[in-house]
Amino acid sequence: MKFSEQLKKNADPILQAQFQHPFVKGLGNGSLPLEKFRYYMIQDSLYIVEYARAMAWVAPLMPEVKNIISMLEAAKQSFQIEFMLKEQYFEKFGISMEDALKTELAPVCKAYVAHLFRYTRTGTLSEGMAAILPCGWVYIEIGQKFTQGKKIPDSHPYKSWLETYAVPEFREMVNWWFDLLDTAVKGQPDSELRRIQDIFIKSCRYEWMFWEMGWNKESWQP
């Protein structure tokens, strides 16, 4: 079994827990309160800026120039797609992207970003890939779960969100990332593989916590 397949197998309980989270279920069936989605989208805008930076920091760690270029292009395209999606919803909410980006990062968002930066700014390629992969993996799994074999009505408030993460291009990108990670860990001892897996699992847990943050509209206390 490939290392990446083992990662996904071990992280599957966390993925299943996300499918069952009320925020994610509400996204899927359209029942999620708009104020919770609004909060989440603002925080996710802050997050995606930092996530794009994390992707860009991983790129120079790749030994092949073609992969460096592809990774930087993926960061650019993902950033643009995310911002187009968010601006579409922000227009409905009556807020601008500029105002959204002035918001303070919530505790979980800030902690997740710090986790990404720890392994992408000064880490190895395998560390960096393990840190950033769960975000892409989780979102395409959610997008596929709620769209595959289904016709989402135009009245569904989160149709654009769901369909964005169900596009084949996102799946192809994440599959490529898993291939890069498999190549990067070849020949590494079991102790190192366990450490890389821990990084991946922690990012998966942060993904669950991000939904929880949105559901509770988390803020700094006191």
pLDDT for 100: 96
CA 153 to CA 214: how far, in whole Å? 24
pLDDT at 16: 98
Q: What percent of the chain has pLDDT over 70?
A: 100
- pLDDT band at 164; cut points 50, 70, 90: very high
pLDDT tier for residue 51 given thresholds of 50, 70 and 90: very high
Going through 62-214 in order, the beta strands assigned E by DSSP cover: none
Q: Average pLDDT of 155-176?
A: 95
Separation between Cα atoms, residue 11 and residue 23, nearest integer Å: 19
The CA angle 135-141-146, to the nearest 5 degrees, is: 130
- CA angle, residues 180, 45, 178, in degrees to nearest 5: 10
Name the token pair of 153: 């009505």
User: Residues 191, 193, 198, CA angle at the centre, nearest 5°?
Assistant: 95
Going by pLDDT thresholds of 50, 70 and 90, the confidence category of residue 87 is very high
pLDDT tens track for 105-123: 999 999 999 999 999 999 9
Q: Stretch 111-140: mean pLDDT, rounded?
A: 97
Percent of the chain with pLDDT over 90: 97
CA-CA distance, 92 to 35, in Å (whole number)? Answer: 12
Q: How distant is the alpha carbon of residue 164 from its chain centre?
A: 13
> What value does the mean pLDDT of the chain take?
96
pLDDT the model gives residue 210: 98
